[in-house]
């Protein structure tokens, strides 16, 4: 019966490229039609009808699965469908799909089998290619996401490190960024005398941030640094277990107990190692690209930290200069209140050509100095520092404002690179009967100071004299004035009266007017009022250094 | 929680204006003893009193002298309130407090200072009149966690902007507050600040949160912003023209000063794209006109004519104020 059905369908199936087979369990013979033989790469009649021959065509990689399926269906009967590779006698690999039925007899064993087979190589190849594309597309997406995330992280870190020139702040930022989602903890260690490493644990929780030096004490941090230096950082980079040993043994008290892996990257800038960046995880290991990310961040961090160090040095230089030009704080002078307004036009480095000084005299009074070096910036600042110390020394030695100016003039004339300097020096004498004091005013080409009377009168003190560094035979008048309790003297640089509004100058009349409104205030309030008036009066930015010093004789009681 | 009543604000202000420091500080301390936190007293007594002092002066009830006296007393009271703060620890975070560049009102920063102290913050206070560059230097030197910029008047907002930029360029977030910023966060946002505090109580919370701030960037993509830059550059020329227009035989000496102030308000309104800034100051001069004798429309006309032709947004703003200053004629 079976044999009859095959020829009926034969030509139709052959046209469709479908081969037909039958199996007789009793004799264990397999019959293939010509198309089936063609599909298996055989000549017509080339199949010997044995099960062994059929099995030998199945691709070794698929054989186990196919035989397991056939064995199962052979025992229980039923329908099956299978797709697998075959190997032709010439070695060509093809994909076939087979569908068949095994019928069982009354004894439960297989009685006969039949089915079809067809070549699906083209379809299977396409499917495989599609699957592969899917896999590689997914991988590509994964890897581009990882790249994107790495880039985002580096940008985020760069942003956090941009701007600040303060070492502490940078250390904190770096540790915060590293523990945002990169690492579970981070230690930044700079090779400074003080261990200023920063340990940050627990992402996004500022409360858990703390100095490494607090976690294990400064000695633990120094100890850890020594160990890090002894261990060759580079050689251990790829072997987290080496570091694991190091931290539990040697970094005790600094690194959290449960550590699964640590990475250390040296911080190098301008060809020298300035410190190290250590990051660790408590769970899981690092991805392979992690080190590159860490290196990128470490490079940026090292440059930022190095710049902060440079700035610190420069800023310290500027501070030294400024301390030479002006007192860091106004001294306490018994019975005299002081106020100062000091605003250098060069802002960031806080240096200008204006100088002032106040120091008590042994007699119980004080010496007041305001000066202005022609020029601006660092060069002017250097001369201003020189002028201030020369004036202070001379005033202390001579006790006379006019003579002090003379000494500075001679000093300047001996210096071929001298600038021109204007200055006013006032000696406020000791308190006399009733609290009044006598002040002696000498001026060298400087705007004349103002006497501010308690009753509201404000007048210029007519002291005149030659600009310094200019004339070998200068003359400085000494003008004595009496300051009663509540009276004040105001000395100022030309920057105050020469503040501009278009073509107009602020001028001394406006200055007097501004002081009049605060006549009974403390000197600090008086100078602030002048500053406020200047800023309100003009819509233009400040162009020149400004200094104003006010000394007021305290009222008894 | 004890409330600070309006009656207490008046009594306090009277004491301050009368130079009665002992009475003023007693009233402030009593409010604290009654249960109000120092920050609340700063907000509801000291700040409100400052507002009242300003109104009394603007309306001519008080002289400049009285205003100064009240401010001096209040700064002593603020110092007393600051002293009530618990001691700081070695690790108290530092905050830098500064006024806007050109803003010499010392009370605002002093209040901020005291409030921060009560929230466990060490504060670095810049001297009044500090320039933005100076502030940048101090930020780099000391590395505060945050900069607080106070601005007392809208016309001084460009100076606040310079402080915000100085802070952010130094990698430090800037939080702003003060009367100059108005009653919502709009102006602060325009300036690119990291946060705006409605009052001194809010400020403390804001400063706590600055660690998570990202740096916003102010866009200034409206035409007025470009005109602001020109106006700042040309301020001297414009001032000269205004003076030429205003100086006459019967000139009031304050006219040029007032016009210069309106010029600043105009510049601020351009930078922030906020015409209210100019309107508010025009209204203030109008309110003060009975005392000062200044004609506000005359000032505005002079300003309008002095502005370079190219500043079309600026001219439109001033013209709108000129029209607003003239009462409607009712189609006569």
Q: Is A2's pLDDT higher than 60?
A: no
Distance of CA A284 to the CA centre of its chain: 26
Chain B residue nearest residue A536, CA to CA: B261
Q: Is A243's pLDDT higher than 50?
A: no
**pLDDT > 70: percent of chain A:** 81
pLDDT of residue A545: 81
pLDDT of residue A184: 74
The answer to whether A168 faces chain B, any CB pair under 8 Å, is yes
A256 falls in which pLDDT band (50, 70, 90)?
low
A74 falls in which pLDDT band (50, 70, 90)?
confident
The residue-averaged pLDDT of A378-383 equals 76
The residue-averaged pLDDT of A257-263 equals 63
Q: Quickly list DSSP for A309-371.
A: HHHHHHHHHHHHHHHHHS-SSPPPBTTEEEEEEEE-SBTTTTB-SEEEEEEE-TTS-EEEEEE
- Give the whole-angstrom CA distance, residue A46 versus residue B106: 108
B6-30 in b/e form (b: 16+ CB < 10 A) is: eebbebbbbbbbeeebebbbebbbe
Q: Which of A336, A480, A333 is nearest to A402 (CA)?
A: A480
The residue-averaged pLDDT of B198-218 equals 75
User: CA of B32: how far to CAs of A374, A446, B45, in Å?
Assistant: 54, 51, 11
Residues of B in contact with A346 (CB under 8 A): 133
- Neighbour count for residue A88 (Cβ, 10 Å): 13
Helix axes B296-306, B254-271, angle to 10 degrees: 60
- The ipTM is 0.87
Residues of B in contact with A504 (CB under 8 A): 239-240, 243
Look-up of token digits 């003359």: A475
- Give the whole-angstrom CA distance, residue B299 versus residue B46: 34
B236 → closest Cβ in A166, A500, A535 = A500
The residue-averaged pLDDT of A482-500 equals 94
pLDDT of residue A106: 80
Secondary structure class of A79 (helix, strand, coil) = strand
Residue A86 structure tokens: 């075959």
User: CA of A154: how far to CAs of A48, A182, B173, in Å?
Assistant: 69, 11, 20
The residue-averaged pLDDT of A293-306 equals 87
User: CA of B139: how far to CAs of A50, A306, B160, B205, in Å?
Assistant: 91, 17, 16, 21
The answer to whether A509 faces chain B, any CB pair under 8 Å, is no
Q: Which of A223, A246, A249 is nearest to A233 (CA)?
A: A246
A539, A540, A544: best mutation site toward chain B, by most B Cβ within 10 Å? A539
Of A128-137, B104-113, B164-173, B243-252, the one with minimum mean pLDDT is B243-252
- Give the whole-angstrom CA distance, residue B151 versus residue B98: 9
Secondary structure class of A62 (helix, strand, coil) = helix
Of A467-476, B78-87, B208-217, the one with minimum mean pLDDT is B208-217
pLDDT of residue A154: 86
Q: Is B330's pLDDT higher than 50?
A: no
Residue predicted with more confidence, B162 or A175: B162
For residue range A15-67, list pLDDT tens digits in order.
Answer: 778 888 888 888 888 899 888 999 999 988 889 888 888 889 999 888 888 88
Look-up of token digits 């009859």: A4
With left for phi above 0 and alpha for psi between -120 and 50, is residue B184 left, alpha or beta?
A: beta
CA B53, B56, B61 angle in degrees (round to 5)? 140
pLDDT of residue A340: 93
Q: Pinpoint the alpha helices (H) of A192-257.
A: 212-230, 233-236, 240-250
- Give the whole-angstrom CA distance, residue B279 versus residue B269: 9
User: CA of A455: how far to CAs of A246, A458, A512, A553, in Å?
Assistant: 78, 9, 14, 14
Look over chain A and give the mean of its residue pLDDT values, rounded to a whole number. Answer: 80
Half-sphere exposure of A189 (CA within 13 A, CB side): 25
For residue range A171-224, list pLDDT tens digits in order.
Answer: 778 877 887 777 777 777 776 554 444 444 433 333 333 333 344 444 444 555
Instruction: Looking at mean pLDDT, say which of A538-547, B119-128, B147-156 comes out highest.
Output: B147-156
Binding-face residues of A in 478-507 toward B, CB within 8 A:
500-504
A328 falls in which pLDDT band (50, 70, 90)?
confident
Asked if residues B4 and B36 have their Cβ atoms less than 8 Å apart, the reply is: yes
B250 falls in which pLDDT band (50, 70, 90)?
low
Pairing of strands A272-281, A185-190: antiparallel
User: CA of A442: how far to CAs of A404, A424, A488, in Å?
Assistant: 9, 6, 16
B235 → closest Cβ in A518, A535, A540 = A540
Compute the radius of gyration of chain A from its Cα atoms: 47
A305: closest CA of chain B, how far (Å) = 12
Residues of A in contact with B136 (CB under 8 A): 347-348
Instruction: Looking at mean pLDDT, say which of A110-124, A269-283, B291-305 comes out highest.
Output: B291-305
- Neighbour count for residue B247 (Cβ, 10 Å): 12
pLDDT of residue A208: 35
B239, B247, B278, B306: best mutation site toward chain A, by most A Cβ within 10 Å? B239
**pLDDT > 90: percent of chain B:** 55
Across the interface, do B260 and A537 touch by the CB < 8 Å criterion? yes
The answer to whether A176 faces chain B, any CB pair under 8 Å, is yes
Chain A residue nearest residue B142, CA to CA: A166
- Give the whole-angstrom CA distance, residue A294 versus residue B320: 58
- Give the whole-angstrom CA distance, residue A464 versus residue A459: 15
The dihedral sign for the CA sequence A522, A527, A530, A532: negative
Q: Pinpoint the alpha helices (H) of A101-252.
A: 121-161, 167-181, 212-230, 233-236, 240-250
Residue A57 structure tokens: 């065509």
B172 → closest Cβ in A164, A341, A348 = A164
Residues of B in contact with A350 (CB under 8 A): 134, 137
Residue predicted with more confidence, B101 or A418: B101
Count the residues in chain A.
Answer: 557
């Amino acid at each position: 019966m079976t044999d009859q059905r095959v020829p009926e369908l034969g030509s139709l199936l052959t046209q469709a490229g479908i081969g037909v087979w039958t199996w007789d369990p009793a004799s264990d013979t397999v019959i293939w039609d010509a198309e089936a033989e063609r599909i298996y790469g055989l000549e017509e009649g080339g199949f010997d009808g044995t099960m062994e021959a059929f099995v030998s065509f199945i691709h070794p990689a698929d054989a186990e699965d196919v035989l397991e399926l056939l064995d199962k269906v052979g025992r229980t009967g039923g329908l099956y469908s299978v797709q697998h590779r075959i190997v032709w006698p010439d070695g060509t690999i093809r994909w076939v799909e087979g569908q068949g039925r095994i019928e069982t007899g009354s004894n439960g064993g297989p009685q006969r089998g039949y089915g079809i087979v067809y070549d699906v190589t083209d379809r299977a190849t396409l499917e495989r290619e599609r699957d592969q594309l899917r896999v590689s597309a997914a991988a590509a997406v994964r890897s581009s996401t990882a790249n994107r995330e790495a880039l985002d992280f580096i940008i985020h870190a760069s942003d956090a490190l941009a701007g600040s020139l303060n070492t502490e702040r940078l250390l904190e930022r770096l540790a915060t960024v590293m523990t945002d989602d990169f690492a579970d903890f981070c230690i930044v260690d700079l090779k400074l005398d003080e261990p200023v490493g920063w340990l940050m644990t627990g992402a996004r929780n500022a409360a858990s941030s703390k100095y490494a030096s607090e976690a294990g004490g400064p000695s633990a941090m120094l100890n850890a640094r020594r160990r890090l230096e002894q261990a060759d950082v580079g050689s251990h980079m790829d072997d987290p277990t080496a570091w694991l040993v190091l931290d539990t043994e040697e970094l005790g008290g600094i690194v959290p107990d449960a550590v699964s892996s640590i990475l250390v990257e040296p911080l190098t800038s301008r060809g020298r190692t300035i410190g190290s960046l250590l990051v660790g995880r408590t769970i899981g290991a690092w991805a392979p690209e992690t080190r590159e990310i860490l290196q990128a961040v470490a490079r940026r961090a090292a440059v930022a930290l190095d710049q902060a160090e440079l700035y610190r040095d420069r800023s310290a230089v500027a501070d030294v200069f400024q301390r030479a030009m002006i007192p860091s704080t106004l001294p306490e002078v018994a019975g005299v209140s002081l106020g100062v307004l000091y605003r250098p036009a060069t802002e960031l480095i806080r240096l200008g050509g204006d100088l002032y000084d106040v120091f008590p005299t042994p007699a119980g009074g004080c010496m007041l100095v305001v000066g202005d070096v022609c020029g601006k910036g660092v060069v002017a600042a250097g001369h201003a520092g020189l002028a201030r110390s020369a004036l202070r020394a001379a005033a202390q030695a001579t006790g006379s404002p006019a003579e002090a100016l003379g000494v500075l003039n001679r000093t300047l004339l001996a210096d071929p690179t001298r600038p021109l300097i204007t200055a006013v020096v006032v000696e406020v004498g000791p308190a006399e009967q009733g609290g009044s004091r006598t002040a002696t005013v000498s001026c060298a080409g400087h705007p004349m100071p103002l006497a501010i009377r308690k009753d509201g009168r404000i007048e210029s003190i007519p002291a005149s004299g030659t600009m310094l560094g200019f004339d070998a035979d200068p003359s400085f008048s000494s003008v004595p004035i009496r300051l009663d309790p509540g009276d004040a003297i105001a000395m100022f640089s030309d920057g105050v009266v020469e503040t501009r509004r278009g073509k107009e100058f602020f001028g001394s009349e406006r200055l007097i007017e501004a002081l009049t409104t605060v006549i009974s205030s403390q000197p600090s309030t008086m100078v602030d009022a002048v500053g406020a008036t200047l800023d309100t009066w003009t819509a233009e930015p400040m162009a020149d250094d400004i200094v104003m010093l006010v000394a007021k004789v305290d009222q008894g009681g | 929680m004890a409330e600070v009543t309006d009656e207490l604000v008046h009594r306090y202000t009277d004491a301050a204006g009368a130079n009665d420091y002992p009475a003023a500080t007693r009233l402030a301390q009593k409010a604290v003893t009654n249960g109000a936190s120092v920050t609340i007293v700063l907000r509801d007594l000291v700040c409100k009193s400052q507002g009242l002092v300003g109104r009394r002066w603007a309306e001519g009830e008080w002289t400049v002298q009285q205003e100064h006296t009240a401010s001096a007393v209040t700064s002593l009271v603020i110092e007393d309130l600051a002293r009530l703060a618990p001691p700081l620890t070695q690790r108290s975070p530092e905050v830098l407090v500064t006024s806007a560049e050109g803003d010499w009102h010392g009370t605002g920063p002093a209040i901020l200072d005291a409030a921060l102290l009560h929230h466990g913050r060490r504060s670095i206070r810049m001297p009044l009149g500090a320039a933005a560059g100076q502030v940048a230097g101090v930020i780099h030197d000391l590395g505060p966690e945050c900069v607080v910029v106070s601005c007392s008047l809208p016309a001084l907002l460009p100076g606040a902007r310079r402080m915000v930029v100085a802070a952010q360029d130094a990698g430090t977030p800037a939080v702003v507050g003060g009367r100059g910023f108005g009653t919502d966060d709009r102006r602060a946002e325009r300036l690119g600040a990291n946060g705006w505090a409605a009052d001194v109580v809010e400020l403390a919370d804001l400063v706590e949160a600055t660690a998570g701030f990202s740096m916003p960037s102010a866009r200034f993509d409206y035409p007025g912003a470009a005109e602001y830059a020109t106006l700042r550059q040309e301020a001297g020329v414009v001032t000269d023209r205004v003076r030429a227009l205003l100086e006459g035989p019967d000139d009031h000496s304050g006219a040029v000063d007032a016009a210069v102030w309106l010029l600043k308000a105009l510049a601020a309104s351009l930078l922030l794209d906020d015409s209210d800034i100019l309107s508010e100051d025009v209204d203030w001069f109008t309110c003060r006109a009975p005392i000062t004798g200044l004609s506000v429309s005359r000032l505005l006309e002079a300003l309008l004519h002095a502005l370079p032709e190219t500043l079309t947004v600026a001219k439109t703003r001033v013209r709108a104020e000129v029209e607003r200053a003239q009462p409607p004629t009712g189609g006569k």
